[in-house]
């Protein structure tokens, strides 16, 4: 289990969201958020993708490949966040991270 002080996560999310929203190019904003978050949660992998029927098309992603199943989280409409090797992050933290990405996508 990763252990972070609660205030650290809050600060991380606040800072990452603020910076990502400042980046005008949506693609770059998502890349920044993905890179920063996978640096924060080392050994994980996070990808941003688009779901069309059964197909989930990769758009961008960062982190370490662990060849484990991905967890699919819907962000907005067809956009999804794929999380790999995230079992060690507790549910509340994970929810906060997913919500951060939702916010970035909603404000694109």
The residues of the shown chain that bind another protein, judged by CB under 8 A, are 47, 49-50, 52-58, 61, 65, 67-70, 72, 80, 82
- Name which of 61 and 97 has its Cβ closer to another protein: 61
Closest distance between another protein and the C-beta of residue 45, in Å?
Answer: 10
In which order are the strands placed within the sheet that holds 79-84? 55-63, 45-52, 79-84, 70-76
Closest distance between another protein and the C-beta of residue 73, in Å?
Answer: 12
Closest distance between another protein and the C-beta of residue 24, in Å?
Answer: 21
- Name which of 9 and 59 has its Cβ closer to another protein: 59
Strands (E), the chain: 45-52, 55-63, 70-76, 79-84
Closest distance between another protein and the C-beta of residue 90, in Å?
Answer: 22
Q: Residue 47 is encoded by which pair of tokens?
A: 């990808």
- Name which of 19 and 51 has its Cβ closer to another protein: 51
> For residue 22, with 0-12 CB atoms within 10 Å meaning exposed, 13-18 middle and 19 or more buried, which class applies?
exposed
Round to whole Å and give the CA distance between 71 and 13: 20
Round to whole Å and give the CA distance between 99 and 79: 13
- Name which of 16 and 73 has its Cβ closer to another protein: 73
């Amino acid at each position: 289990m990763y252990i972070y002080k609660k205030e650290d996560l809050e600060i991380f999310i606040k800072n990452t969201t603020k910076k990502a929203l400042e980046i005008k190019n949506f693609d770059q904003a998502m890349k920044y958020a993905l890179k920063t978050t996978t640096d924060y949660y080392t050994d994980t992998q996070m990808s941003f993708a688009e779901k069309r029927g059964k197909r989930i098309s990769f758009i961008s992603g960062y982190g370490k490949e662990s060849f484990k199943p991905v967890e699919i989280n819907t962000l907005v409409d067809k956009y999804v966040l794929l999380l790999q090797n995230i079992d060690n992050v507790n549910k509340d933290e994970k929810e906060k991270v997913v919500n951060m990405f939702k916010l970035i996508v909603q404000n694109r």
